[in-house]
Amino acid sequence: MKRLTLFLTAVLSIFLLAGSAFAAGTGTEMTAGAYSEEALRGLTVVNREGEELGEIREVRVDSETGEINFVILARGGVLGIGAERYAVPIEALKISRDKDKATLTVSENKLETAPRQETGMSDGEFKDVIQKHYGVAPAWEPPASRGITPEMME
């Protein structure tokens, strides 16, 4: 019985791994949610045209779930001094397969008008605010269910 269970577990694992590889496709980008905090920190962020916007300076992680809430993009400044900082939901980024850059998938205007985290606001609460602002929602939640309209994506 133990051998059968072990065999079935191994077969199931192989199918799950193969399915994940197949689902990833042959494109050049992956969602940022598939990466760790360490892998994201320091990545160059570009717009859809490939122009550099800045660098991921911080990654805010939910202490209970370990999931990434959002990242902090630093833009401008010299050696990090005087840089403007913008919160970006992880759902608004695509990471290149060679992990050398992240692409902002929404309008750069959303970055410029991004809300700031208010004193006393938890990262989880702020995550909801910026997801609405950027017009993105978690993968399990369709944008329409959060009141996100096509106009918000411009």
pLDDT of residue 59: 93
With contact defined as beta carbons under 8 Å apart, do 153 and 47 qualify? Answer: no
Asked whether the predicted pLDDT for residue 139 surpasses 90, the reply is no
Pairing of strands 68-75, 84-89: antiparallel
The pLDDT tens digits of the residues spanning 22-70 come to 344 333 344 445 567 888 899 999 999 999 999 999 999 888 888 888 9
Tokens 């695509």 sit at which residue?
A: 94
In 3-state terms the chain splits into helix, strand, coil percentages (rounded to 5) of: 40, 25, 35
pLDDT value of residue 2: 58
- Supply the mean pLDDT for the chain: 74
Task: Give pLDDT, residue 4.
Answer: 52
pLDDT class of 81 with cuts at 50, 70, 90: confident
Domains, the chain, ordered by start: 29-153 (2.30.30.240)
Given this model, what pLDDT does residue 9 score?
A: 53
Q: Is the model's pLDDT at 73 over the cut of 90?
A: yes
Q: Which residue has the higher pLDDT, 86 or 20?
A: 86
Evaluate if residue 130 carries a pLDDT over 80.
Answer: yes
More confident residue, 19 or 89: 89
Q: How far is CA 98 from the centre of its chain?
A: 16
Give me the residues paired with residue 93 across strands: 104
pTM metric for this prediction = 0.65
pLDDT score of 6 more than 70: no
